[in-house]
Chain A
Amino acid sequence: MGALSIRNVKKSYGNTHILKGIDIDIDKGQFLILVGPSGCGKSTLLNMIAGLEDISSGEIHIGNRLVNHLPPKDRDIAMVFQSYALYPNMTVRQNISFGLEIRKIPVAEQKAIVERVANMLQISHLLDRKPNQLSGGQRQRVAMGRALARNPTLFLFDEPLSNLDAKLRVEMRTEIKLLHQRMGTTIVYVTHDQIEAMTLGDRIAVMKDGEVKQFGTPQQIYDTPANLYVAGFIGSPAMNFIPATLEEAEGQAIVRLDNGTETFPAKLGPLGTAQRPYVGKSVILGIRPEQITDQGSAQADQPNLQLIRAKVEITEPTGPDTLVTSQFNGVKVTARCHPQAGMAPGQTATLVIDPSKALLFDPASENRIA
């Protein structure tokens, strides 16, 4: 049994169904990410875990205890909010010890805990300040300190980095990960940022419209997304979706890529049993930008590489890579090339594609054809 177990949890207001049956299980010490666009129900789910919102049906267990009807204070949780929610009238010290005081922890012990947490987060010099005298990053640390002081079974983070500037966000992200590794705590973390999801999580639940679209490790979600939604949501720049017709030749699955003047058959590998019913029908080929690159960057030892020619429409240098946009089968396709590869708009470039890593999706159900 895990640290957190969510079983068929639903939330509705009248006929509006916010959550349509969520099942998630994580073990002690795991870092669970709930990721999805705004309005997908991820924050509602977090509030339900915290006990701040009622559960319409289903069960939530924290550390093997059914907590459906327990108030927040009895759930052995701590929460970090997007707005930090520091008590404006209290000093940093009082903010951190407020929860301890309510739990009637002896004053000497409170003091020791505040010292320990402040040292760990390097906020010892701020203890006597009020929240309005702190910068965004410092407030963030205090909010985490308040959560850490309680040493709960479960930590809940509600988009804690959204209010920070880009540089600080990356720093705090690393720090949260470090903290998690050091303390081995169980964390549920809500975000809309897929990079935060990938970098922090042990487990990711990609949510949309009140449903979990896929639940798995970051690498599973990235390499084998269950459907078009997950495939498009995770990864930046996003996966290319190219409409095509599945063909078979000598047991090999093939799709044709047409750049407007030439057509290249892309060999996807042996035709799988799941793919067989789709032969002769339209499918969507999903291929990530890094699987299309220039000849110099391609790893020559990969056995399935194929050359294609593309008309370069636009190039976007990002520094480490240059994103090259061209067209195949009438849609824009992004390739990730080396900045020194000399791609220029208007020219016809030779690109290397690794079709064996491409995925096929059913255009009607939008699920991956596995």
Chain B
Amino acid sequence: MADLAYHQTPAARIGRFGIYAVLALFALYYLAPLYVMVVTSLKSLEEVRNGNLLALPAAPSLEAWSTAWSSACTGVECSGIQGYFWNSIKMLVPAVALSTLIGAVNGYVLAMWRFKGSDLFFTLLMIGCFLPFQVVILPMAQMLGFLGLENGTARLVLVHTIYGLAFTTMFFRNFYVTIPDELVKAARIDGAGFLRIFFRIMLPISLPTIAVCVIWQTTQIWNDFLFGVVFSAGETQPMTVALNNLVNTSTGVKHYNVEMAAAIIAALPTLCVYAFGGKYFIRGLTAGAVKG
């Protein structure tokens, strides 16, 4: 391979250069908004108003960040987005954990312990993947009312867990059907039962799929706005709703630097999850799709 690269014909070299040039251009194009967000958040309001959008900050300062975090106004209240950030975390962690775990059990049953009608059940569940959020709002509101669940965070955990199950079940089921069922047979002969096989064998070998579910669910739940705005109010609203309120607060001048800082803070968790879990994401998505 290395030899081949050194002995490329000039035409091939030009072609390769062209490919990289195009890729670089697209990367620039996609990174530009992030760049603008970062530099704007580091500028003072004065500089934002008078300067160039793309210019680097003359005197970089984290003031906008601290304002966004602790004293920006979201509606009538002016205590920053920190409380809402923790709201989102408190909603995210249990919702991701629950939907991943239940999805794993579902997938394990649908792949390894087929029952009469299990394929139909899986098909119906798949429809859940195609349902837009808006469709489930009304029935979900009725169900939450019926359950008498008052706390906004708890309501969102339940809603996101249920809505995410279709996806997590599909991920795990599609991974487990690639595992030879002789593995389960061997464990049954060894004396292991349903739960022991799941926790001792199936779950430990599903790390890539767990990574996929965690990334997928984190992105979905953290970024969700609609469920957040519908099923929670006031104190318990998640980050996305607070960000919206912050940006739409219409009194006084527009603090673009604060808004940009708040938006970056809002995007950070998902960025981190991709940075740390990205390679597992691809590996998990393609697991079973190709041999080896």
A66-96 interface bits toward B, Cβ cutoff 8 Å, 1 = contact, 0 = none: 0000011100011101110111111000000
How far apart are B29's CB and chain A's nearest CB, in angstroms? 42
Identify which of B185, B190, B192, B205 gathers the most chain A CB atoms within 10 Å of its CB: B190
| A102 and B192 contacting across the interface, CB-CB below 8 Å | yes
Q: Which of A52, A83, A89, A98 contacts B190 (CB 8 A)?
A: A98
What residues of A have a CB within 8 angstroms of the CB of B205 in the complex? 88-89
Query: Does A99 count as interface, using CB distance less than 8 angstroms?
Result: yes
Q: Which of B186, B191, B192, B204 contacts A85 (CB 8 A)?
A: B186
| A79 and B186 contacting across the interface, CB-CB below 8 Å | yes
Query: Does B49 count as interface, using CB distance less than 8 angstroms?
Result: no
Bound-state Cα–Cα, A85 to B201, Å: 11
Query: Does B283 count as interface, using CB distance less than 8 angstroms?
Result: no
| B side interface size, CB within 8 A | 16
B154-198 interface bits toward A, Cβ cutoff 8 Å, 1 = contact, 0 = none: 000000000000000000000000001011011111111000100
Bound-state Cα–Cα, A288 to B189, Å: 42
Query: Does A103 count as interface, using CB distance less than 8 angstroms?
Result: yes
Bound-state Cα–Cα, A85 to B205, Å: 13
Bound-state Cα–Cα, A125 to B287, Å: 31
| A98 and B192 contacting across the interface, CB-CB below 8 Å | yes
Known contacts A52-B185, A85-B183, A85-B185: A102-B191 contact under CB 8 Å: yes
Bound-state Cα–Cα, A86 to B201, Å: 10
Bound-state Cα–Cα, A350 to B201, Å: 65
| A89 and B201 contacting across the interface, CB-CB below 8 Å | yes
Q: Which of A72, A86, A88, A90 contacts B189 (CB 8 A)?
A: A72
| B201 and A73 contacting across the interface, CB-CB below 8 Å | no
Query: Does A212 count as interface, using CB distance less than 8 angstroms?
Result: no
Identify which of A77, A82, A98, A146 gathers the most chain B CB atoms within 10 Å of its CB: A98
How far apart are B172's CB and chain A's nearest CB, in angstroms? 16
| B182 and A102 contacting across the interface, CB-CB below 8 Å | no
Query: Does A34 count as interface, using CB distance less than 8 angstroms?
Result: no
| B191 and A99 contacting across the interface, CB-CB below 8 Å | yes
| B189 and A77 contacting across the interface, CB-CB below 8 Å | yes
Q: Which of A85, A89, A99, A150 contacts B182 (CB 8 A)?
A: A85
| A52 and B180 contacting across the interface, CB-CB below 8 Å | no
| B204 and A89 contacting across the interface, CB-CB below 8 Å | yes
| A87 and B201 contacting across the interface, CB-CB below 8 Å | yes
What residues of B have a CB within 8 angstroms of the CB of A79 in the complex? 185-186, 189
Bound-state Cα–Cα, A85 to B179, Å: 10
The interface residues of chain B, by DSSP majority, are classed as: helix
What residues of B have a CB within 8 angstroms of the CB of A99 in the complex? 189-191
Query: Does A244 count as interface, using CB distance less than 8 angstroms?
Result: no
What residues of A have a CB within 8 angstroms of the CB of B187 in the complex? 87, 98
How far apart are B69's CB and chain A's nearest CB, in angstroms? 42
Bound-state Cα–Cα, A77 to B187, Å: 12
The interface residues of chain A, by DSSP majority, are classed as: loop
What residues of A have a CB within 8 angstroms of the CB of B183 in the complex? 85, 87
| A52 and B188 contacting across the interface, CB-CB below 8 Å | yes
Query: Does A40 count as interface, using CB distance less than 8 angstroms?
Result: no
How far apart are B137's CB and chain A's nearest CB, in angstroms? 41
What residues of B have a CB within 8 angstroms of the CB of A50 in the complex? 185, 189
Bound-state Cα–Cα, A150 to B196, Å: 19
Bound-state Cα–Cα, A171 to B204, Å: 34
Bound-state Cα–Cα, A35 to B32, Å: 68
Bound-state Cα–Cα, A102 to B188, Å: 11
Identify which of A50, A102, A146 gathers the most chain B CB atoms within 10 Å of its CB: A102
| A73 and B182 contacting across the interface, CB-CB below 8 Å | no
Residue of A nearest to B196 (CB): A102
Residue of B nearest to A77 (CB): B189
Residue of B nearest to A47 (CB): B185
Bound-state Cα–Cα, A88 to B179, Å: 10
How far apart are A155's CB and chain B's nearest CB, in angstroms? 11
| B185 and A73 contacting across the interface, CB-CB below 8 Å | no
A84-128 interface bits toward B, Cβ cutoff 8 Å, 1 = contact, 0 = none: 011111100000001100110000000000000000000000000
What residues of B have a CB within 8 angstroms of the CB of A52 in the complex? 185, 188-189
What residues of A have a CB within 8 angstroms of the CB of B185 in the complex? 47, 50, 52, 72, 79, 81, 85
Bound-state Cα–Cα, A88 to B205, Å: 7
Bound-state Cα–Cα, A247 to B183, Å: 59
Residue of B nearest to A88 (CB): B205
What residues of A have a CB within 8 angstroms of the CB of B191 in the complex? 73, 99, 102-103
How far apart are A223's CB and chain B's nearest CB, in angstroms? 36
Q: Which of B180, B188, B200, B204 contacts A73 (CB 8 A)?
A: B188
Residue of B nearest to A74 (CB): B191
Known contacts A88-B205, A89-B201, A89-B204: A72-B188 contact under CB 8 Å: yes
Residue of B nearest to A94 (CB): B200
Residue of A nearest to B180 (CB): A83
Residue of B nearest to A71 (CB): B188
What residues of B have a CB within 8 angstroms of the CB of A88 in the complex? 205
Bound-state Cα–Cα, A76 to B39, Å: 71
What residues of B have a CB within 8 angstroms of the CB of A90 in the complex? 201
Bound-state Cα–Cα, A72 to B190, Å: 8
Residue of B nearest to A152 (CB): B189
Bound-state Cα–Cα, A88 to B185, Å: 14
What residues of A have a CB within 8 angstroms of the CB of B200 in the complex? 87, 98
What residues of B have a CB within 8 angstroms of the CB of A72 in the complex? 185, 188-189
What residues of B have a CB within 8 angstroms of the CB of A47 in the complex? 185
Given contacts A52-B185, A73-B190, 17 further A-B contacts (CB under 8 A): A50-B189, A52-B188, A52-B189, A71-B188, A72-B188, A79-B186, A85-B180, A85-B185, A85-B186, A87-B186, A87-B201, A89-B205, A98-B200, A99-B189, A102-B192, A103-B191, A146-B186
Question: Which B residues are within 8 Å of any A CB, using their own CB?
Answer: 180, 182-183, 185-192, 196, 200-201, 204-205
A-B contacts, 17 of them at CB < 8 A, read: A50-B185, A72-B189, A77-B189, A79-B185, A81-B182, A81-B186, A85-B185, A86-B186, A87-B183, A88-B205, A89-B201, A89-B204, A98-B192, A99-B191, A102-B191, A102-B196, A150-B190
**Smallest CB-CB A-B distances: 9 pairs:** A99-B190, A73-B191, A85-B186, A89-B204, A85-B182, A102-B191, A81-B182, A72-B189, A72-B188
